[in-house]
Amino acid sequence: MNERKIENISDVWRNVMRKFPRKTAVIYEGNSWTYAECDAMIEALRRNLARRFGLKQGDRVAYVLPNCFEFFVAYWAVIRSGAVVTPVNVRLRPEEMGYVIANSDADILLVHEQTWPAAKEALKHAPNVKHVIGIGVPEAEAQFNELVTGEPAPAPPPIKTEDLAIIMHTSGTTGRPKGAMMRHADLLFNVKNAIIAHGFRHEDVHLLWVPMFHCTALYSMLPTAAYQGSTIVVAPRPDVKELVQLVERHRITTFLGVPTMFYFLGAMKDLGNYDLSCLKLIAYAGSPMPPQTIKRLREKLPHVQLRNFFGLTETISVTHVLPDEDALKHPDSVGKLLPEVHHRIIDEQGNEVKPGEVGELCFARENVVTGYWKQSDLLEKAMLGDWFRTGDLAMVDEDGYVFLKGRRKDMIIVGGENVYALEVESVILTHDKVLEVAVVGVEAKGIREYLGELVKAVVVPKQGVTLTELDVKRHCAERLATYKVPQLVEFRDKLPRNPAGKVMKNELK
């Protein structure tokens, strides 16, 4: 093995240990650990997993853990073992959780006292689990803190770039989750693209508040921090005030997350009381960022770069990024393609559309996962030649900016005209009294039956404001073609979401 060459994610850890063993690797609830201190625990855990529970290369380990330091250690121990990290969304119902665990064929389960009640029920649906390792769980076969002490493991096994590293289950609004298979080579590709997209540096201190079972954490933040020898601050809760306090206390430089969190950040009345001069990047993804939120962040944090980014569970890396200078010029764009990422936007016949036209977004075969765990035929069904059909509608302009228009299944046909739900949602989000919105198509009845479908907007107003149906319709009429203006407007306190946070539009019709 070439000790100077990084060929897998295990090599990433070996490399950082050689170069920066005394650098702070992770901070959690006021405690900090250097890379060397983490390494001692990682290697002890790796040895004990093999000796006591028979963990070997290629085995799957299921994680039902909240954000915690133990997740960090267990991630690297399993990666270094040549085994496969299988995160489980802790927001799932027990039967859903059990399906994911069973589908992965994991025989070792890591669980926390916070997640044990649901995980205990989930185990009824996952007879494959033979060993339960607990963090504050008395009923567990072994306690985590007992496994991270003792002698280090022998040298890690040789890992090939094409070996499996993570099984990340998708979280669609319908159907069973599918386990997207990420190889070591895929993670290395993503590490490099994440650095390009976000401008990460060795001296960065990253705030990790998004769930650690999510792609952003496991594909990007954990391996990229080790690749560069930077520091991760793990936040146990998504509480905006606590997060701001962490930024100030630990001099955090990057803050990645979803637009809803940044709305609450911008709305903090006492934000100016905190010293956030250390913060240099806010990057957001997952849903459209309301322009008024961007403007508020610009006003309150003028020194911070704002970037939109995009990627799918099935893509092996972040695929698009919108530069800071375009945050307000193109707030509804996910940005431009990153190097070595290739897409096509096609019509129903499979032909590439012209700039300015809407079609289905496809990615090159080399930019997507090799398949779904135990369901290899499903990915092939989504392929059109060498292109993966995402089901997302998109448009690219002549300058290369990409604009998502929603899912193909979310397209609404009103009197023969195509209405893209995401376009209408983006317009409604520009209203300064709107917090969230989802747009769906409903069957036209009565005197409007001839239209086929009607546009329905389900709006969540900001707290303490007065917003009427007429307000929403007028706002849209000033910015959209007549047939795109919602014929129906409904107000709710919140939108129905699945455990991964995706809006369940089928419940809004």
Sorted by sequence, the CB contacts under 8 Å of residue 502 that are 6+ apart come out as: 171, 172, 173
**Which pLDDT score, from 0 to 100, does residue 422 have?**
84
Q: Are 210 and 218 in contact (CB under 8 A)?
A: no
pLDDT at 379: 87
Tokens coding 304 = 């911070």
Q: What is the 3-state secondary structure (H, E, C) of 470-487?
A: HHHHHHHHCCCCHHHCCC
Domain locations in the chain?
9-25+34-183, 342-409, 411-507
| Residue 416: per-residue pLDDT | 74
> Which stretches of the chain drop beneath a pLDDT of 50?
173
pLDDT digits (tens, 9 = 90+) for 251-265: 999 999 988 899 899
Question: Rounded to an integer, what distance in angstroms lies between the CA atom of residue 58 and that of residue 75?
Answer: 14
Per-residue confidence (pLDDT) for residue 1, from 0 to 100: 56
- Determine how many CB atoms are found less than 10 A away from the CB of residue 309: 23
CATH superfamily name and code, 342-409: Luciferase; Domain 3 (2.30.38.10)
Which residues are registered as beta bridge partners of 339? none
Q: What is the pLDDT of residue 177?
A: 84
Helix, strand, coil % (nearest 5) of the chain? 35, 25, 40
CATH number 3.30.1280.10 is the correct assignment for the domain at 411-507 = no
CA–CA gap between residue 296 and residue 62 (Å, rounded): 41
The Cα 216–Cα 44 span in angstroms is 27
Res 445: pLDDT: 86
Give CA–CA dist 63/5, Å, rounded.
Answer: 30
Which token pair is 94?
Answer: 């027990």
Q: Which CATH superfamily is domain 9-25+34-183 in?
A: ANL, N-terminal domain (3.40.50.12780)
pTM metric for this prediction:
0.85
Residue 171 has a pLDDT of 66
What pLDDT does 420 receive?
A: 82
